[in-house]
Amino acid sequence: SAKEQGKNSYCLFAEEMEDKSKKYMEMDNMLRKAILGNEFTLHYQPQVDATNGKIKKLEALIRWNHPERGFISPEEFIPIAEQTGHIEAIGEWVVEEACRQIKSWKGKGITTPKVSINLSSTMLSRQGISEKSIETINRSIQNVDVEFEITETAILTNEKNVLKALDIMKKNGITIALDDFGTGYSSLNHLQNLPIDVLKIDSSFLMNIHKSDKEKSLYESVIQLAHSLELEVVAEGVETKEQVEFLKENKCDTLQGYYFSRPLPPDKAEVIIANGFIKI
């Protein structure tokens, strides 16, 4: 009967919910242990100058190697860390670790490019976070050595606090990149008012350029728009020679993607930054 069916689907739904919250609680516990147990590392992916392949920056990307489960993707655990509050400790660890690494490379006499660090909005909306991050940076390196990446949605969800935090960082000489541009809902008008220096165009747009001239024009327009706002443009997800040619033709400033390099552990990243260039 309909009633029975309704009841069954309700049971299924409840079961699913229970599974989800069980998974969530499990992850909550795992994250708590991960922070205490030093299970995180940072990998670094180069961003190169589109004109000559010079390594301009490195993006720091968190890696979690769980003792039993092995590699867990940040796409999986960052959203949960944001909901459980663990993101604050994780975010602080990321900033500290990136600074430690930069200092260590500099200490070896290696010309170290600026390191770009992803910050979550949940963290950015907390009072005093910019002051705290600046303090951490200045204990070992300088503000110009780092950049912060924040997503469009991050800015939109907690606008007032986030904007205040970004303003303080910018006034202190830390550059700000808007990450995954095109996946959120910021209007062009809004973009003009944001305290940002860099626009990172989401990889989904580049993935489509081979499909049609329309997709190409869309990408070109975004580059032009960013340039008219005097922003540096970074193409995310560059994987093919064809994409590199397209981006060079259209004066994209900076390129990042597997075509040049995957995110690398510190020892491997060290070798390529010591080199300074990636063949383009």
Any contact of residue 74 with ligand C2E (CB under 6 A)? yes
Q: Which of residues 187-226 bind ligand C2E (CB under 6 A)?
A: 203
- How many residues at the interface with ligand C2E, by CB under 6 A? 21
Closer residue to Mg ion, CB minimum distance, 63 or 110: 63
Closer residue to ligand C2E, CB minimum distance, 61 or 252: 61
DSSP letters spanning 58-89: EEEEEEEEETTTEEE-HHHHHHHHHHHSTHHH
The stretch among 134-142, 218-226, 234-242, 270-278 that binds ligand C2E (CB under 6 A) is 234-242
| Tokens standing for residue 180 | 């995954």
- Residue 258 binds which entry of ligand C2E, Mg ion, none, CB below 5-8 Å type-dependent: ligand C2E
Q: What is the CA radius of gyration of the chain?
A: 21
CB of 205 to ligand C2E, least distance (A): 13
Q: How far is CA 256 from CA 116, 152, 231, in A?
A: 12, 19, 16
The stretch among 18-26, 103-111, 118-126, 187-195 that binds ligand C2E (CB under 6 A) is 118-126
Closer residue to Mg ion, CB minimum distance, 152 or 270: 152
Which of 145, 147, 152, 180 forms a contact with ligand C2E (CB under 6 A)?
180
CB of 174 to Mg ion, least distance (A): 15
| Tokens standing for residue 170 | 């910018």
Apex CA 55: angle with CA 107 and CA 245, to 5°? 175
Which of 28, 88, 197, 239 forms a contact with ligand C2E (CB under 6 A)?
239
* b/e burial code for range 136-155 (CB count within 10 A of at least 16 → b): bbeebbebebbbbbbbbebb
Which of 64, 191, 257, 269 forms a contact with ligand C2E (CB under 6 A)?
257
CA distance 44 to 185: 28
CA distance 91 to 29: 17
Handedness of CA 172, 142, 202, 230 (dihedral sign): positive
E strand or H helix that includes residue 147: strand 146-151
DSSP state of 143: G
Closer residue to ligand C2E, CB minimum distance, 134 or 201: 201
- Residue 237 binds which entry of Mg ion, ligand C2E, none, CB below 5-8 Å type-dependent: ligand C2E
Which among 75, 106, 104, 85 has a CA at the least distance from the CA of 28?
A: 85
Q: How far is CA 218 from CA 50, 182, 223, 238, in A?
A: 19, 11, 9, 17
Q: Which of residues 24-63 bind ligand C2E (CB under 6 A)?
A: 45, 61-62
Closer residue to ligand C2E, CB minimum distance, 197 or 239: 239
Closer residue to ligand C2E, CB minimum distance, 257 or 270: 257
- Write out the residues near Mg ion by the rule CB under 5 A: 118, 149, 179-180, 236
Which residues bind to ligand C2E, rule: CB under 6 A? 45, 61-62, 73-75, 78, 94, 118-120, 149, 179-180, 203, 237-239, 257-258, 263
